[in-house]
Amino acid sequence: MFRLARITIFLAVILLFMLPLVFGQVHKAVSGAGWQWPAHTDGITYIPVCWENPTGWATETNLVKNKIASTWQSVANVNFYGWGACNAASKGIRILITDTRSNSGIGKFMDGSKNGMELNFTFKNFSPGCQAENRRPSCITTVALHEFGHALGLIHEQDRADSTCKTEQSTSSGGLLLTAYDPDSVMNYCNPRWINDGVLSALDIVGIQKLYGARRAASPGRVTVVDSLNIASGQTWEHIIMEFGSNKIRRDFALNTTTKSVRQSWTFGGSGKYCYKLWSNTLYTNGKYYEGYGEGCWTLEAGKNYTVEIQFNKGTGQKAFDIVLVAPRS
Ligand SMILES: [Zn+2]
């Protein structure tokens, strides 16, 4: 790898080859520059991923997707998305499943390249040591970890000029060094643990965060709803149940002439669409009893606190009230 991001124009697609410890050494790497993919205006780098030939590989493609989500994507401000079948116009990282030495293009230069990455799922021809069913899944995910390092713009660590491991070096090239030399990198052929046992090293994390920024924790938001007894209109008792969010958490509002107002809050994770339902029973001083129902959805932003008012409209269905939660205000 190289942890390299360089300003020169990339002239050719350079495929970096790997798995030296399993398959012997092939060093085609280096002298290519890795270059990170551009960030969106929200600061996050979105990279589409698709499979050229996914049919029949549901288990394996999911293994790869989950591995990348739990490694590179969990530490850097990068979102890989899509992961469906490629079409002729697909952009981003296009992965061919093929029984060969796994390899990948580098960073943004592979954007939209047909077969821009090749991953081996069978190991029938190449790396038969990974063929056994008890080894195959970890071989698939471990190799994918390395190849996605290339896809993010990293090249081989052992090829740095200051590498202390010369035995695995191919032509050394310049570039942007993101960290001190890292013998534990998943991008280092000299690491005695093959691809660092499929775990990012501490400096792998520092390096990728320099290129893309550290992943921000999803800041929780909160929705607060207040229900107050309308004594002026003759309400003496009210019970509301409200359900909110994908996990459908229910909270109660139990009001009477002693407890005239109740406030309930729900937290939510990231930005997105959240839905609610609520049911009400209300008793009036004249002994009349009414039921109400309402439901709806809001688009909420992470990290914001919203307050919401409950509004009762005359019912159009079998309930006396149609309950509307007026749009939340942050
Ligand atoms: Zn490599």
In the CATH hierarchy, which fold is given to the domain comprising 16-212?
Answer: Collagenase (Catalytic Domain) (3.40.390)
Kindly give the distance from the C-alpha atom of residue 2 to the centroid of ligand 1, in angstroms, as a whole number. 10
Kindly give the distance from the C-alpha atom of residue 87 to the centroid of ligand 1, in angstroms, as a whole number. 26
The C-alpha R_g of the chain, in whole angstroms, comes to 28
Separation between Cα atoms, residue 269 and residue 305, nearest integer Å: 12
Residue 14 has pLDDT above 60, yes or no: no
pLDDT of residue 42: 80
Average pLDDT, the chain: 85
- pLDDT band for 19, please (50, 70, 90 cuts): very low
Share of the chain above pLDDT 70, in %: 88
Region 149-167: mean pLDDT is: 89
End-to-end CA distance of the chain: 45
Region 4-8: mean pLDDT is: 34
Both structure tokens of 150: 């290339």
Residue 7 has pLDDT above 50, yes or no: no
Residue 4 has pLDDT above 50, yes or no: no
Separation between Cα atoms, residue 51 and residue 53, nearest integer Å: 6
Query: 158: closest CA among 147, 172, 142?
Result: 172
Task: For residue range 106-145, list pLDDT tens digits in order.
Answer: 999 999 999 999 999 999 999 999 999 999 999 999 999 9
Adjacent-strand bridge partners of 79 = 46
Q: For residue 259, count CB atoms less than 10 angstroms from its CB and return exposed for 0-12, middle for 13-18, buried for 19 or more.
A: exposed
Both structure tokens of 35: 């270059």
pLDDT of residue 174: 64
- pLDDT band for 12, please (50, 70, 90 cuts): very low
Question: Fold match between 16-212 and 221-325?
Answer: no
Both structure tokens of 279: 């049911």
**Domain coordinates in residue numbering, the chain:** 16-212, 221-325
Query: Which residue, chain included where needed, has tokens 């390899």?
Result: 103
Kindly give the distance from the C-alpha atom of residue 113 to the centroid of ligand 1, in angstroms, as a whole number. 18
Region 46-58: mean pLDDT is: 97
**CB under 8 Å, gap of 24 or more: what pairs does 125-128 form?**
125/99, 125/100, 126/23, 126/99, 126/100, 126/101, 127/19, 127/22, 127/23, 127/101
One-letter amino acid for residue 120 of the chain: N
Region 47-63: mean pLDDT is: 98
Kindly give the distance from the C-alpha atom of residue 26 to the centroid of ligand 1, in angstroms, as a whole number. 10
- pLDDT band for 173, please (50, 70, 90 cuts): low
Adjacent-strand bridge partners of 297 = 275
Kindly give the distance from the C-alpha atom of residue 198 to the centroid of ligand 1, in angstroms, as a whole number. 13
pLDDT of residue 172: 58
Look at the alpha carbons of 271, 241, 325, 316 in this order and tell me if their dihedral is positive or negative. positive
Residue 171 has pLDDT above 60, yes or no: yes
- pLDDT band for 260, please (50, 70, 90 cuts): very high
Please give the backbone phi and psi of residue 116, each rounded to the nearest 5 degrees, phi first: -65, -25
Region 286-303: mean pLDDT is: 88
| Residues contacting 176, CB < 8 A, separation 6+ | 3, 4, 5, 6
Kindly give the distance from the C-alpha atom of residue 42 to the centroid of ligand 1, in angstroms, as a whole number. 30
Kindly give the distance from the C-alpha atom of residue 277 to the centroid of ligand 1, in angstroms, as a whole number. 52
Does residue 179 or residue 330 have the better pLDDT? 179
Grouping H, G, I as helix, E, B as strand and the rest as coil, residue 72 is helix
Residue 32 has pLDDT above 70, yes or no: no
**CB under 8 Å, gap of 24 or more: what pairs does 317-320 form?**
317/293, 319/290, 319/291, 319/292, 319/293, 320/290, 320/291, 320/292
Q: Of the ranges 74-83, 212-221, 224-233, 236-245, which one carries the lowest mean pLDDT score? A: 212-221
The CATH class given to the 221-325 domain equals mainly beta
Helix residue spans in 83-234 (DSSP H): 136-151, 202-212
Kindly give the distance from the C-alpha atom of residue 81 to the centroid of ligand 1, in angstroms, as a whole number. 22
